[in-house]
Every structure is written in structure tokens, then in C-alpha cells.
Amino acid sequence: MADGGERAQLRYAWRALSVVSMASVLSALGNSSFNVALPEVVRFYDAGPTAASWMLLAFMLTNTVLLVVFGRLADMFGRRTMYLYGLGTYTLSCLLLGFAPTEWVFIGLRLLQAAGAAMLLANSAALLTDAFPRRHLGRGMGVYIASFSVAQLVGPTLGGFLTHQFGWQWLFWYNVPIGLACLAWGAASLRKIPGHGRDGEIDVLGNILIVLSLGSLLFGLSQVSDRGWGAPAVLIAVAAFAVLLPLFVVVERRSGNPVVDLGLLRDPYFGFGLVASFLNAVARMAVLLLIALFYQTVRDESPLDAGMKILPLALSALIASTSSGFLQHRLRPRTIAVSGTVLSTAGLAVLLVTVSPTVPYGVIASALVLLGLGSGMFMPANATALLHDLPPDRVGIVNALRLMTQSTGVVVSTALALSLIASPLPAELRRYAFAGSISAVSEQALWQLVDGYRLALLCMTVISVLAVFASLAGRRADRRARPVHHS
């Protein structure tokens, strides 16, 4: 039974959880609702395949590379301050996005929105780890992850409804009053958690190399839709990534305050956990976007109808993640993570062998349920396993590294999927794959797009199998031997 001190800590912990969950719903709604509305935005600006890809990738890339920066700054100067700045930045960007006059201004404002989201994500799990007693952390983390599932549940349907009834601009404008409410509640509820001072500088060179290396890879993948895999721009971009990535590793080994603490990766338990997180994200995170595009492009359905089709994934993820605390009282987190990756792999395999213009929705729904259950089991269990028992001054940067790894997987998943689904189409028809109108072009083009879906799902299934092996390797690692690293 909890004593008075623990009860007081739990009361504050649940208040902090309410703030973090509200903000996570806000930021996750932005992504899940926009995925459904992408064809409408592409048609509004008459954007080409490259611009269409960067409407998604600009947000993801910026969010990924800033996570560790804001994690470090929050450790130094205080998580509450950084969190509230993030809410304000995200809310302002949502207001401005609805007024963007061109597609490239729109993409620029997505960069600002991503910066606000990075401030939130880099500090959410860290705030909860500070707030909750250790034996209740699994329950709190399960509810926190479930908030993302709620956003995935509501986002596609809400995004489809707003786009269909009022226009895509309201995908962003409806966030403004919610963001202001979150900001007020956060300012009233969160304790001022002092930072640890200027105990380290920001690794400027490391962050620049992350932007250049990952940006090169994404640029190359985004050009595939326009130019094909053998185009000079694609080959040069991939070659730049191959050169910059080893250079980044060399710089990080010599840095006193690295973006990525490579010493953490020497621990098998932590290293395999990060690898599993990355591979799991690459394998499954583009599925929501692909299915939303499938029903608008292949089946010629409205954004609202396409959003409704995705509900089984989000609902099953919500059920699995809210059950995470119960499961973690009975099973090791890594065991739950392994089970989740197996379920996700099964869901991808079902989509791979059945996808076609005539596939019954019940088959798609069953695959989405498997993917949702797998995702909802893996994410909170993996987060709890990686953050458990860390010293307070390392929670922010380690959590930011975890999120950066996961977000990198999301970015790669999206870029890879978008490049693969359009690759079988002739260059002049690829813009129709993102504008949701390929079914009006020709039956041959329709089947070429389906071939692209099969290619993308094959790659994602193979990567998911690798995630299963990484999770199994992490489960076998000796947890007690994990060292605690200090920069």
C-alpha cells in the first residue's frame, strides 16, 4: 500500500500525465489527419511528386534531428519551460499553415510545426519518468502511448470529415483552441523542474551532419518518384549519405557531448532495443498513409471514407497500449516487445499477399488489427525497458535518443513507401499516385500502382522480420550488465 508521500507523488504524476497526453494527442492528430488529406492538399497546390513527398518528409526530418537537441536543452535548462515553448510554437504554426499561399511556403511552415512537436516529444516521456514512482511507471507509460493511439483513432476520421466538409485548412486551424487549452493547463499543472545547468555544450557539428546525412537520403528517395532509381540526383544523394554517415560516427566518438552517445550502443540490451525500435518503425509506420492513399487512389473513395477504413488499426493499438501496464506486471517488457513485433509482421504479410483493387475490406481490416495490436504492445514495453532505472540527469537525452531513432524509422518508412509505390508507373503518371486520381487514368496504370504497393509491402515485411530478430536478441541480453554512461 502506498504511503502518504507516494500518494502525493502519484497525484502529481497523474496531473502531469494529463498534460502530456493532451499534448501528445494534439501533435499526433496533426500527423494522422494530414496523412488522409494529402491528396486534397496536393490537388489544391497542383504540386508535383517531389513537393508532395516533402509535405510529409519536411516535418518528419526536422522533428527527428531536433529531438536530441531539445532533449539536451531540456536537461540543461528545465523540461517544463521547453515543453510550454513547444506547445506555443506548435499552436502558432497550425494557425499559419491554413493561410500558406504556395506549396513551398506550406512546407516551410511544416518545419516550424515540426520544431514545436520536437520540443514536446523530447520531453514527454522524460516528464513522466520524473513524475511517476518506478513501480507505477509502466502504467503511466501505457496510458501515454495510448494517447497516441487515441489520436490515430480519431485523426483519420476527423481529418477526412474536416477536409470533406470544410476544406483541408481546418486540419490545422482546429488545433489552435486545443493548443491554447493545453498551454494553459500545462502552465498551471507542471512543476518547475530545474535543469542541470550548462553541464555540456550542444554538439553543433554532430547535428549538422545528422541533417546533411539523413537529408541526403530523403532527398534521394523523394526524387525516385520523379526520376527513377538510376537518376544521377538519386545516386549522388545516396552516395552522399554513404559518405556522411561514417563521418558522423567519427565525429561523435571524438565529441565531449555527442548527439548520439555511442557508448550506450555498446550495451547489447540498449543497442538491440534501439535497433528493434528503428526497424519496427520502418516496417509499420507508413501503413496508415498507404491504406489512406489506397482507398482514395485505387478505390476512388473520399477522404472521410478512407479515414474510416483505418479505424481498426488505431482501435486495436489503443486496446493493446492501454493493457500494457497490466501485461508488464506479469511479463518482462522485452517479452511483450517480441510478441508485438511478431503480430506486426503477421499483419504486413497478410496485406502483402492480398492487396489488389478487389480485395475485400474485411481482409484489410484483419491485417490492420494485427498491426495495431503489435504496435500497441511494442511501443510502451520498449520505452519502459529502455528508460527504466536511468539516473535523472540522463533521462532526457536517452529518451530523446530513443525518440530520434524511432522518428528516423518513421521518416525512412514514409520516404521508402512513397518512392516504391509510384516506381512502377511511367514518370508522367506518378503525380496521380499522390493526387488520388490514378483510377481515372487507365486500368493499366491502376495495376501498376498496385504492383508498387506490393513492392513496398514486401520490403516492409522483410524489415519487420529483422525487427523480430533484433527484439529476440535484446531479450537475451543480460539486463543486469547494462552500464550507466555519463557524458
Query: How many angstroms separate the Cα of 377 from the Cα of each of 179, 208, 215, 335, 339?
Result: 28, 34, 31, 10, 8
How far is C-alpha 107 from the chain's CA centre?
A: 18
**pLDDT tens figures, 83-107:** 888 889 999 999 999 899 998 899 9
> What does the pLDDT read at residue 400?
64
pLDDT at position 461, please? Answer: 94
Q: What is the pLDDT of residue 201?
A: 63
For the chain, residues with pLDDT lower than 50 are 1, 478, 480-487
Q: Which CATH architecture has domain 4-189+257-481?
A: Up-down Bundle (1.20)
Q: What per-residue confidence (pLDDT) applies to 483?
A: 45
Q: Give me the pLDDT at residue 459, please.
A: 92
Instruction: Return the pLDDT at 320.
Output: 85
pLDDT for 117 = 87
Q: Would you state the pLDDT for residue 160?
A: 80
What's the one-letter identity of residue 26? L
pLDDT of residue 193: 66
State the pLDDT at residue 384. Answer: 76
Q: What is the pLDDT of residue 1?
A: 45
pLDDT the model gives residue 113? 92
Domain assignments of the chain as residue spans, ordered by start: 4-189+257-481, 203-256
Confidence at residue 464, expressed as pLDDT on a 0 to 100 scale? 93
